[in-house]
Every structure is written in C-alpha cells, then in structure tokens.
Structure 1
Amino acid sequence: MDEIKVLEYRNIRVLTTQQLAEAYEADAQIITNNFNRNKERYQEGKHFIALIGEEKADFINKNQNDFSSFWKAKAIYLWTEKGAFLHAKSLNTDKAWEVYDHLVDNYFEAKKPLTQLEILQQSVEVLNRHDREIKQIDTRMDKLEYDIPMYGSEADELSSHVKRKGVSVLGGKQSEAYRDTEIRAKVYRDIYDQIKREFGIYDDSGRPKSYKALKRKYIADAHELIDCYEAPTYLVELIEAANAQMHLGVA
C-alpha cells in the first residue's frame, strides 16, 4: 500500500474517510454507508472524531493543501485506530484485515522522535516516580523497623527505668521495703505486668511474654507509663508497713 500521509488531531493519529477507503481498497461511500448502518456501535471520541464549525475550519487551514475541498462538507470524520478496526470488521475482506494490521504496526503505533524538552520531561517524571517509590519503601521499612521487638540495648534501658522507678516507689535503696526482697520483687513485677497489659505482650494462648517482646513503636509510651506508675493499694500498704518498722527501730 502507498505511504499514508500522517494526520494527527490533538496528538492522536487519525485517518479521514477517504484515506481509510483508499487503504482498504473500498469506495468512500461504502465506508460512510457502513458507518450509518451501524452508528450504535461507534462512539465519538473513541472510534471517530467529527469536526464541524471552527474545529473543521482549523483542521482544513492546517492541512489546506490536502483538504481544501472539504470546505463544502458539513463535517469531517476522522477515524481512530479503534474506528479503523470496526470498518475492517464491517468490510471483512482479506485486504481490509491485511491493511488494518499494517496500519496498527506502521501508522497508529509509530512514534515520532521525542524533542529534547519531551526527553527532559520524561526523565524528570521517571526521577520523581523513583523518588516516590524510594520514599514509600523507606516508609514501609520504618514501619517494619518499629513493628519488631526491642533491641537488647533498648530492653536494658527499659529494665533500668523500671528499677529506678521501683527504688523510688519503695522509698530508696536504704528503705526497709527495698531491703525486703519479696516486696521489692512484687513492685518490679507489678510494673512489668502493667507494661504487658497496656501493650498486649502475650502469646497466642494468652500467657504473658517477657517484657523484651515489647514492640519498638511502643518504647516511648512504655517509658511514659513507667514515669506515671503508681503502686496499687495493697503494695502501698506493704511498703508503708515495712518502712514504718524502720522508723520505729530508729526511734
């Protein structure tokens, strides 16, 4: 088939009815008749573009050497790749299907060389996309990083914080309550138990796990909980009773 003059409308490659007829070796009126008989199958903007009024005038002026005779036409129909397919289907000849395949490979799919500006714009788009993807990966990694148990050093710091709070609650290291290993152990255990309850540190069967299983994303909250810890009434009474004995002994 002869080389077809490339036509574009709003950056979409199209063919006129006459071009399509010549390519398919059919009469232009047959193309028009097939369209009129099957209008319900054709969607404007998808299969064809109908130019009228100023749009028609602009198109003719832009392509005046080839389409000056179109001034008398009420409308100019431009056919897209999908419109060319429907016409090939209506004609259903070997020639039409052969030409349609050729049009797809060598006309509709043919790409114009990119300008330097277009190359630059595409490069910027690729870099921006990569930047977004990297940020998404970093975000996922951060979430994963903070959704794992504490590191050893973080667990040690939490344990030290519990001990410091326990010493304070017991009345200091010189207090009788602190020297009483049973009371001291109960205070530490109660602090750890509150941490486990607050942050759900339990196994699948509902049994409490080691405080070291605390997820990293909760570390700051756990330290705040320790700072705000208050011993329950029964422990307060044990501590006060033990420390009262110390004062009595001094007296």
Structure 2
Amino acid sequence: MNLMEIQHADKKVLTTAQIAEVYQADSKSLMRNFQRNKEHFQEGAHYFALTGEALKQFKGGRQNDATLKFVSVLYLWTEEGAFLLAKSLNSEKAWQAYNLLVSQYYQITKGLQQEQPVSLPYDEKRFLALEQRVQEIELRLQGVTLHTGEQKRLRQAVTERVDQLCSVQARRPACFASIYREIKRRYQVDSYRDVPQCKLQDALYFVATWKGGADA
C-alpha cells in the first residue's frame, strides 16, 4: 500500500479515501459514521474541512487525482482523527489501528520503568503526551454511537426477546415499545440508535435478560 503523504496546517493528514483504503472500508461508511458522531470530533485537531479557495488550491496541486474532481467539501484527517474513525468502524483493520495506539502507549510505559533516571525528563514528556492522546480518544469514544450494523444487532436482540416473552400476537407491539422505552431510559438517549457504542454488549445483555413484558 503506497499512500501519498499530505501536509496541511503543519500536520500530516490523510484524505477520506486514503483512510478507507487503510481500514478496508468505503468512504461513504466513514462519512456516515463521522456525521453521526460529529460532535465528538474537533475541527483543527481531528480534521480539516476544505471549501472555497482552500479547496481550489488543494485541487490545483493534485490535478491528476480524479477523486477530487466533483468534491465540494474535502475532509482531511489528522492521526488522532483517523484513530477515532477507526474505532467507529468496528472492523478488523480499524481495531488494529486503534490497538496500535494503545500498544505504543504501553510500550513507552514499560520503557520508562526500565530507563535510567537521567533519561527520564525527555521520555516522560513523550509518555505524558501519548497518555493524554489515549485518554482524550477514549473519552471521545465513549460518546460514539452505534453504527448501522450494531443498530441491527440490537434490533434483532429485541425481536428475539419479544419472541421469547410474547406468545400472544396482540401483546407484541406493547412488548416492543416497553423494551425500547427501557433502553432509552437506561442509556438516557432519544433513540436506541444513540446508545453509546461502548455500551453495546451491556445493551444486548440487558435486552436478553429483560422480563418486563413476559406473558402471565
């Protein structure tokens, strides 16, 4: 894989198409996940959105790139932004990317414990910077909501639970409504689609053990 290096605002960045290639995903899925969780991304820190003259100048330096021809808004992603996108995809390649960041963090932690005190000031600075990055990303990931596939898993779990609890057809609509109402109450969201991604397993267990709509 040969990704052309791009610099913008003194940062190394990637286009959405490049990230999609790395994570073996498609650009549309990436952008859907981004738009759904946009409040957790910070422009300038995680991405840049090029429009107008800035976009025109960017295109001017890449006239052979056919993917840019009809683009009206171009997103460029920093390393931190790419990691956030990786986690929201929940694919194998995306998990590898996120795990790489965590692995780097713990490698530096281990190295600090083995280094001589005289070299600690420089290494400690590196460690603290990476630790902060991990903490910031993990905090933002707590707000990432379910992607389309995870929403489907939760819906299927609800249907399976209704099938188990409601043998009377007439009671099924009320049972569905009760479960979804309890999901929204439990996670303090307006829709099951807004359940935090990090709470998916908890939500699946909650649905599987829910007993509020059982037949008498």
Question: TM-score if structure 2 supplies the norm length?
Answer: 0.44
With structure 1 as the length reference, what TM-score do the two structures score? 0.38
Larger gyration radius, structure 1 or structure 2: 1
Greater relative contact order (Cα < 8 A, sep 6+): 2
